[in-house]
């Protein structure tokens, strides 16, 4: 497994970010797409896949994330919806499900030493319907991308295997549930929503 370091305004965000990044990176790994001769630079720069994302249920932390540093494990499932392919190379993918499991040394403001794994199952229809197009494995990036939540660190890496292997994945997520309890009784779960892009 690959280690990653992430600094966030919320411990849950950083940890979840690391987990998601790992999943997305692993699942999209594979031969990198090569632009056909004669294509424009703008076409080559277009994203292969862009999806909205939302946790199927709040991501769970064990033990709860708190003000004091401790090793926390995070588990969750993220639904990828309304997927489109700006460059036309992945028109067969309309939705997906990202399952993540990761751990790291977390507090309410920072998470370090993130480790974990993730898998994305891709579907040909909206809302995870139709046939399964493939499964991608994702590994956490060495360092996360800037953003509000820790989930962002997991949304920064490269797909390890499966559809779009070898391509980079990036994303941003914000909480959909309150995180105000973190500095008091601790944060045991968090809901997230945002976007994910594969290039």
Q: What integer pLDDT is reported at residue 139 of this predicted model? A: 72
Three-state SS for 10-71 is: CHHHHHHHHHHHHHHHHHCCCCCCCCCCCCCHHHHHCCCEEEEEEECCCEEEEEEECCCCEE
What residue segments make up the domains of the chain, in order of their start? 4-31+46-198
For the stretch 169-197, pLDDT in tens is 877 778 898 888 888 999 899 898 989 99
b or e along 87-120 (b: 16 or more beta carbons within 10 Å of the residue's beta carbon)? bebbeebbbbbbbbbbbbbbbbebbbebbbbbbb
For the stretch 59-81, pLDDT in tens is 899 999 888 988 888 888 999 99
Res 122 pLDDT > 90: yes
The pTM (predicted TM-score) of the whole model is 0.75
Res 106 pLDDT > 70: yes
Q: Do the beta carbons of residue 93 and residue 123 sit within 8 Å? A: yes
Mean pLDDT of 3-27: 43
Res 32 pLDDT > 50: no
pLDDT, averaged across the chain: 75
d(CA 90, CA 79) in angstroms, rounded, equals 18
Res 2 pLDDT > 60: no
Mean pLDDT of 30-46: 39
Q: Give 95 or 173, the one with higher predicted confidence.
A: 95
Q: What integer pLDDT is reported at residue 13 of this predicted model? A: 54
């Amino acid at each position: 497994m690959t280690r990653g370091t992430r600094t966030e305004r919320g411990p849950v965000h950083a940890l979840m970010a690391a987990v998601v990044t790992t999943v997305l990176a692993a699942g999209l790994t594979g031969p990198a797409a090569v632009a056909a001769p004669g294509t424009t630079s703008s076409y080559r720069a277009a994203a292969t896949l862009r999806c909205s994302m939302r946790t199927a249920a709040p991501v769970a932390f064990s033990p709860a994330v708190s003000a004091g540093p401790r090793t926390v494990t995070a588990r969750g499932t993220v639904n990828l919806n309304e997927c489109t392919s700006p460059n036309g190379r992945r028109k067969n993918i309309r939705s997906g499900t990202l399952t993540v499991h990761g751990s790291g040394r977390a507090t309410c403001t920072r998470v370090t030493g993130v480790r974990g794994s993730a898998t994305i199952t891709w579907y040909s229809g909206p809302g995870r319907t139709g046939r399964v197009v493939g499964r991608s494995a994702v590994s956490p990036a060495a360092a996360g991308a800037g953003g509000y939540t820790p989930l962002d660190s997991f949304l920064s890496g490269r797909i390890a295997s499966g559809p779009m292997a070898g391509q980079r994945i990036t994303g941003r997520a914000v909480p959909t549930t309150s995180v105000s309890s973190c500095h008091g009784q601790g944060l045991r779960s968090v809901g997230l929503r945002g976007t994910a892009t594969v290039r």
